[in-house]
Structure 1
Amino acid sequence: MKEMTKLHSLDSIENFIKQHQFSFLYISRPGCTVCHAVLPQLRILLEQFPNIKLGYINADDVEEVAGRFSVFTVPVLLLFIDGTEFLREARFVHFEQLEERLKRVYQLYQDE
């Protein structure tokens, strides 16, 4: 399973995005059953993409995350490439579609 970094503040989130070319943020809440089901699947999927770094954010601990990233529901999956949001999935994630989108974007940037 993909390693993930727990991010506990807006500053740590911003630094995480700046430090990695591919930053994938996973925003959830402890009481969200969908979140608990999605996270293990996401970690398995991201194993295919070694350069994508996964950051985990508990929206109850970092309440400002909702305003900063326009989060209205959880879970939210955000992919940043070179600091720019490139992909967003929320609530119900279609993993086959997500995998295809990630493969295309990842390949595009790896070929540069």
Structure 2
Amino acid sequence: MTDLEELTSIEAIERFIEDHTFSFLYVSREDCSVCHAILPKLRDLLTQFPRVSLGRIQAEAVGEIASIFLIFTAPTLLLFVEGKEFLREDRFVQFGELERKLNQIMNFVN
């Protein structure tokens, strides 16, 4: 499974995005059963993409995340490439389609 970094402030999130060429943010809520089900699948998928760093944000702990990143539901998955948002998925994620999009982005960037 891919390593997971817990991000507990907007400053930590911004630093995470700046420090990694490929930064994937996973925004979840503690009371969200879908969030708990998707995270292990996402971590497994990202093992195919070793250049992608994964950060997790608990929406309750970082309340301003919703307004800064325009997040309206959980889970929300955001991929940043060199600090720019390239991909956004939310709620019910189709992992086959997500894998295809990640491959496409990685091929484009390389």
- TM-score relative to the length of structure 1: 0.97
Identity of aligned residues (%): 52
Which residue of structure 2 lines up, in the alignment, with residue 4 of structure 1? 4
- Cα shift at 1:66: 0.5
User: Which structure 2 residue ranges, 5 or more long, are not aligned?
Assistant: none
User: Shift of the alpha carbon at 1:62?
Assistant: 0.3
Extract unaligned runs of 5+ from structure 1. Answer: none
Within a 5 Å distance, the mapping from 1:32-111 to structure 2 comes to 32-110=32-110
Partner of 2:29: 29
Aligned partner of residue 56 in structure 2, secondary structure: strand
| Aligned-pair Cα RMSD in Å | 0.5
Structure 1 residue 107: deviation in Å? 1.7
Distance 2:109 2:88 in 1: 18
Between the two proteins, the alignment pairs up a number of residues equal to 110
Q: List per-residue Cα deviations over 1:28-47 (Å, max 9, x = no partner).
A: 00100000000000000000
One-letter identity of the residue aligned with 2:106: Y
Letter in 1 for 2:70: S
Cα offsets for 1:58-90 (capped at 9, x unmatched): 000000101110011000000000000000000
CA distance in 1, matches of 2:106, 2:64: 29
Letter in 2 for 1:58: Q
1:12-42, Cα deviation, whole Å (9 max, x unpaired): 0000000110000000001000000000000
